Chains A and B, each alone.
Chain A
Amino acid sequence: MSTQATQTRPGPSGASRLGALLRLRELPVTVALVALVIVTAAVNPLFLSPQGMKDLMLNATIMMLLAAGQTMVIVTRNIDLSVGSILGLVAFGTGSIFAAVPTMPIWLVLLVGVGFGALLGSLNGLLTVWAKVPSLVITLGTLYVFRGVNNGWAGPRQFFAGDRPEAFGNLSVDTLLGVPIITVLALAVVIVLAVYLAGARSGRDLYAIGSDPEAARLFGINTSTRVFTAFLVNGALAGLAGVLYASRFNAVGATTGSGLELDVVAAAVVGGVAIFGGSGTVIGAAIGAILLNTITSSLTALRVDKFWQQAIVGVLIITAILIDRLASLRHAKHLREREGRNV
């Protein structure tokens, strides 16, 4: 039935293209972001000054990377709660590397960080796939284990920006066409991931697994390998985010990145990623991350009491889920009606 429906779907006429645009899952979050920026800029023009824009981008960079990686995992109907701990471990590792070998080339440190993150992520993937235990439980466990290792390793020690080479810190100061280098890097990664998830066969498989794991297996998709890969990539992105964190922020220590995990999931949900898998895009999640970070800055620019910020973020998340629910109800009704007509 459904295959017939796709075949008889009319070609991309003007009206249906508009319809498709209106059904985009990223639409609500994009509209919210644009509206927020316009309103804030109208009230406080300094908000969109070059420096203001740069701050916005810098603040969103790390969350954007994490949300993009998390999307890959959530799409397969899994979740990774350990990303905050992975980020912390890698950020502290970066600090230690520079403290031990200050002359280490930056590209090598980036590579080591990504590799370290991928290793930790693959541990999550291995445990989830092999033990067939829900990833929520496994990654809740590794959240504590990785954090404990970080605590034991760092103790009371902290590394400060002064311990790192100036060129490394400059990654988050220098700009390319007005965009900070680390943001350019993050954007590139997000775009590559988006293209992969939208176009590549193995990327589409992830959606199939998330929609119905059993059907995906029967269809011949190697679900274990795909899910494992999703965790590995997510770990690698968290590792990259960890290195960039060490470049962006002054101090890295035992508690770096703790508590980030739920913010990351929230960013993905706000960006239209369904929490039970099967739909959502990396771009949407990245926009969600930008929105959540921008709210903080724009509320400050609007002189809203800073204590209201978190409550507003909460309202935003719930609104995003409500919108998603309404849209899926409408879509289901639409499908039912069409089926009825076809019979």
Chain B
Amino acid sequence: MSEHATVAVDTTAPLADVVPVRGPRWYAGRDATMVYILLAFLAYAALSIPRFASPVTTGFLLLDVVPTLLIAMPMTLIIVTGEIDLSVASIAGLSSAVLGVAWASGTGIWVSIFLALGAGLLAGIFNGVLVAYVGLPSLAVTIGTLALFRGLALVVIGDNAVANFPNEITALASAKLGTSGIPLVILPVVFVVLVFGLVLHHTAFGRGLYAMGYSKDAAHFVGINVGNSKFWLYVASGLVSAAAGVFWTLRYTSARSDNASGLELTVIAAVLLGGVSIFGGKGSIPGVLAGVLLIGSLNYALRLGRVSDVVLVTVTGLLLIASVIAPSVSAAVGRWRHSQRLRRHLARDQGAEPG
């Protein structure tokens, strides 16, 4: 613990200041920086972009980020353990297809939603067994299941689209809380975020995930059940992705096999932007939350500013690259300044010697 603390904190400070790390260190860390950037951006947008600070904005912005935000939660935990899940968008597509076909064949809407979530659960179990118990590399497995689940979605629904969902249900998906503009659906989303945040940051299971991210063998030796932990993460990922698929279907009132396609890379970009290390072992839910909201509000602001939609992806990409090379750049600048200082120091000493 103290070893990590000394890495992040100025080493010249007396140790007594370093020990109670939890509060102060967080405010100077990578995750907090993301939160500051998000707040600064929101303040700037509210002041300088007309119509940004309005209930309409809140509504659309939040509705737009719901799928990404939901899937980003289990994705954060999975990446913290050093694994990855590329099949999430395909699971969302599969659950959308199941929901559509079940509803179209006369099943009740709630049962249909239940079936859709069940499909996601099974998909998650499939991933989990292959990664956790068979021991295959998750990057390769989930590229495979990315194709498999999307393929199953096609098998289920073909190239049809189901759109005649009951009005009261689709209205629920975009209903607002009073006049605040905050969508009703945010309540369950906040609940999901809280659950994943608590699990990651305040349980032994969560601490174990960080340990696994640093070293699987070491985690195994201190008594963490690496296989089971990974298995449950993939199951959770399947279930949450299916929920995102259900939301997607109801919000756009359309169940199609290609719903949410390509979303996996958006989610991963947001998670990495939020400060989670792709090597595992680092990252936090607040940081990811800020990352997702930053991408969402930036896109929304640019759209309001009449920047064309197509340039938006560039912004996502640049943000992602900047966020990962920033530490390297600052380290390089630090090294350069250090050597400059050293050189000046030496020059002074040498200048002093003859005199």
A191 within 8 A of B: no
Q: Are B141 and A141 in contact (CB under 8 A)?
A: no
B46 within 8 A of A: no
Q: Are A314 and B268 in contact (CB under 8 A)?
A: no
Q: Are A317 and B155 in contact (CB under 8 A)?
A: no
A134 within 8 A of B: yes
Report chain B residues within 8 Å CB of A325: 134-136
| Chain A residue nearest in CB terms to B135 | A325
Q: Which secondary structure characterizes the binding site on chain A?
A: helix
From B130, B140, B148, B278, give the contact of A137 (CB < 8 A): B278
Report chain B residues within 8 Å CB of A276: 137
From A130, A147, A266, give the contact of B313 (CB < 8 A): A147
Task: State which residues 122-137 of A face B: CB under 8 Å.
Answer: 127, 130-134, 136-137
From A134, A265, A307, give the contact of B278 (CB < 8 A): A134
Q: Are A148 and B317 in contact (CB under 8 A)?
A: yes
Task: Give A322 to B134 CA distance when docked, in angstroms.
Answer: 9
Q: Are A275 and B313 in contact (CB under 8 A)?
A: no
Q: Which secondary structure characterizes the binding site on chain B?
A: helix
Q: Are A321 and B311 in contact (CB under 8 A)?
A: no
Q: Are A141 and B134 in contact (CB under 8 A)?
A: no
Pick from A25-33, A47-55, A149-157, A192-200 the stretch touching chain B.
A149-157
Q: Are B314 and A145 in contact (CB under 8 A)?
A: yes
A314 in contact with B324 given A137-B278, A259-B262 (CB within 8 Å): no
Q: Are A149 and B314 in contact (CB under 8 A)?
A: yes
Q: Are A262 and B320 in contact (CB under 8 A)?
A: no
From B152, B262, B325, give the contact of A131 (CB < 8 A): B325
A312 within 8 A of B: yes
Task: Give A254 to B146 CA distance when docked, in angstroms.
Answer: 24
Q: Are B152 and A311 in contact (CB under 8 A)?
A: yes
Report chain B residues within 8 Å CB of A147: 313-314, 317
A311 in contact with B278 given A152-B310, A269-B140 (CB within 8 Å): no
B265 within 8 A of A: yes
Task: Give A313 to B137 CA distance when docked, in angstroms.
Answer: 18
Report chain B residues within 8 Å CB of A316: 144
B312 within 8 A of A: yes
Give chain B nearest CB distance to A288 CB in angstroms.
12
- Please report the total number of A residues contacting B with Cβ < 8 Å: 49
Give chain B nearest CB distance to A120 CB in angstroms.
13
A318 in contact with B311 given A144-B317, A262-B146, A310-B150 (CB within 8 Å): no
Task: State which residues 239-268 of A face B: CB under 8 Å.
Answer: 254, 258-259, 262, 265-266
A91 within 8 A of B: no
Task: Give A311 to B325 CA distance when docked, in angstroms.
Answer: 38
From A134, A137, A307, A322, give the contact of B158 (CB < 8 A): A307
| Binary CB contact string for chain B from 121 to 145 against chain A (1 if under 8 A, 0 otherwise) | 0000000001000111101110111
B151 within 8 A of A: yes
Task: State which residues 144-170 of B face A: CB under 8 Å.
Answer: 144-152, 154-155, 158-159
Give chain A nearest CB distance to B149 CB in angstroms.
7
Report chain B residues within 8 Å CB of A107: none
From A137, A151, A311, give the contact of B154 (CB < 8 A): A311
A315 in contact with B148 given A127-B321, A134-B278, A151-B311 (CB within 8 Å): yes
B96 within 8 A of A: no
| Chain B residue nearest in CB terms to A82 | B317
Report chain A residues within 8 Å CB of B130: 318
A141 in contact with B148 given A130-B328, A147-B313 (CB within 8 Å): no
Q: Are B137 and A141 in contact (CB under 8 A)?
A: no
Task: Give A162 to B54 CA distance when docked, in angstroms.
Answer: 49
Residues of chain A touching chain B, judged by Cβ–Cβ distance below 8 Å, are 79, 81, 127, 130-134, 136-138, 140-149, 151-152, 155, 254, 258-259, 262, 265-266, 269, 275-276, 305, 307-318, 321-322, 325
Listed from nearest, the 6 A-B pairs whose CB atoms lie closest are A314-B148, A148-B314, A311-B151, A144-B317, A310-B151, A151-B310
13 A-B pairs with C-beta separation under 8 A: A137-B278, A137-B321, A138-B321, A141-B318, A142-B317, A147-B313, A307-B159, A309-B151, A311-B152, A311-B154, A315-B148, A317-B143, A321-B136
Q: 10 more A-B contacts (CB under 8 A) besides A127-B321, A318-B141?
A: A143-B317, A145-B314, A145-B317, A149-B314, A151-B308, A152-B314, A259-B262, A314-B149, A322-B136, A325-B134
